[in-house]
Structure 1
Amino acid sequence: MASQPVLWNFFRSSASWRVRIALALKGIDYEYRAVNLYTDEQLSEDFTKLNTKQEIPILEIDGIRLTQSLPIIEYIDETRPHEPRILPQDPAKRCKARAIAEIINSGIQPYQNTNVLKRLVSEIGEEKKNEWLQHYLTKGFRAIEVALAESSGTYCVGDELTIADLCLVPQVYSAHRFNVSLKDFPNILRINAELEKLPAFHKSHAHRQIDTFAEYREN
């Protein structure tokens, strides 16, 4: 009998959050192992043995250890091809979904990494850090909004869920957290509202995890 998958993650990590949604969509039960980024648990010797990049998420599944959220999501979808599919079968739609996901994954999310923000605070101060962060996050959201104007239906790419949607919800949460205004991005707000209605997205929300801080916890 195969062992239960194990996910090393943190409730507020947007990369971890994406993988939680994918696992929920596919109905995969897993062991949740919390790694507190605020206390630098990812820098420990034991964790570094798991991932020398000292990052989450890490997913152990099918006897292998996987890192990096987008490849993890693609692996889950390719090895569990039952509905819902996370990567569209149509090549053009698949490319559009991956492009939106990458705008978020490589073009926005790295700016808000905990280790980056800690370094910024130490070098330029809290106020300048916030200005810097809001500038780059807004620039990324502007690019997403333009892409969605072309590709979206109910969700980011047409009317079926894709990898882009798994990336969008955690990033919108981060925008609110860092006081980034989304008032000029109606497609982003509309799609995010639709996604938050879905059970897998509700279950995976940062405020509903076993390591969620008490002040943020929701049912």
Structure 2
Amino acid sequence: MSEIVLYDYWRSSASYRVRIALGLLDLPYRTVPVDLLAGSHKIGEHLVRNPQGLVPALEIDGVMMTQSVSIIEYLDETRPGQGLLPTETLARQRVRALSHAIAMDTHPVCNLGVVRHVMDIAEAHGDDADAARQEWMAKYIGSGLAGFEAMLAGDGTNGDFCHGDRPSMADICLIPQLYNARRWNVRFSHLPRICAIEQRCNAIAAFANAHPDQCPR
């Protein structure tokens, strides 16, 4: 089997998701850091890997892959056993819906490029750019997590994790967003299901080892 290579930025939520998935599947990989703050994701070499100029990019099975949720689904389909998505159709839909609530609704409006634009607009209007960023993060991360909590409570199928009694793609998407919430001082202690799930995930090596503090920079 060829070497798996992850082109990664330590604080990227999307990269964090893929690190967790690789860990849950016990797939060894090599990390190549891509410094977003230095603009390394926008230069020619990385654009060959990911034409969007984003991270992650994952080299696996002789192919370069992008988009974290799509990568996780590929890993689930080609490395069966862990069950990153359930096998039953309605259960898979629920896990996808929870995952998309974070990865497609909450995270995209809080990523580096969007928030930089928010700060630029604030500065252009003579406002405090840092305060504008904080307000933006509080609004969109806070409302996103509140909606996620409501989704968890919605159909009574929960076990110890977002769906059932082992972590799925939904948990893989949630935990990086909680890291971002803490980074921007967004409270979620009033969301008991999320807090309980986070505690259980933190006790699993694949989640702990994927934490940004454990990553090369």
TM-score when normalising by structure 1: 0.92
Deviation at 1:181, TM superposition (A): 0.8
Q: What residue identity is the alignment partner of 2:48?
A: K
SS at match of 1:134: helix
What is the aligned-residue identity percentage? 35
- Separation in structure 1 between the aligned mates of residue 161 and residue 59 of structure 2, nearest angstrom: 29
1:85 aligned onto 2:89: no
SS in 1 for 2:31: strand
Q: Which residue of 2 aligns with 1:115?
A: 113
> For 2:186, what is the secondary structure of its paired residue?
coil
Q: How does 1:2-81 map to 2 (within 5 A)?
A: 2-81=1-80
Give the Å deviation of 1:129: 2.1
2:126 matched to which residue of 1? none
Q: Which runs of 5 or more residues in structure 2 are unaligned?
A: 123-128
TM-score by length of 2: 0.93
What do you get for the CA RMSD once the two structures are aligned? Answer: 1.0
Q: Which amino acid aligns with 1:202?
A: A
Q: 1:163 aligns to what?
A: 169
Displacement over 2 Å in runs of 4+: none
Partner of 1:216: none
Deviation by residue 1:138-177 (Cα, 9 ceiling, x = unmatched): 1111110011113421000121221001011101110010
Give 1:31 deviation, angstroms: 1.2
**Match of residue 131 from structure 2:** 127
CA distance in 2, matches of 1:159, 1:30: 27
**Matched letter for residue 40 of structure 2:** E
Q: Deviations over 1:121-145 (max 9, x none)?
A: 1211221221122111111111100
Query: What is the aligned counterpart of 1:94 among 89, 92, 95?
Result: 92
User: Where does 1:181-192 land on structure 2 (aligned, <5 Å)?
Assistant: 181-192=187-198
SS at match of 1:65: strand
Q: Tell me, what secondary structure is at the counterpart of 2:15?
A: helix
Secondary structure of 2:161's match?
coil
Contact 2:5–2:29, Cα closer than 8 Å, also in 1 = yes
Partner secondary structure for residue 37 of structure 2: helix
State the shift of 1:183 in Å.
2.2
Residue equivalent to 2:216? 210
Aligned to 2:178: 172
Could you tell me whether the CA contact under 8 Å between 2:110 and 2:140 is conserved in 1?
Answer: no
Q: Counterpart in 2 of 1:138?
A: 142
Contact 2:5 2:60 in 1 (8 A): yes
CA distance in 2, matches of 1:112, 1:104: 11
Runs of 5+ consecutive residues of structure 1 not aligned to the other structure = 212-219
Which whole-Å CA distance do the structure 2 matches of 1:121 and 1:188 have between them?
29
Matches of 1:50 and 1:108 in 2, distance apart?
Answer: 25
What count of residue pairs does the alignment treat as equivalent? 209
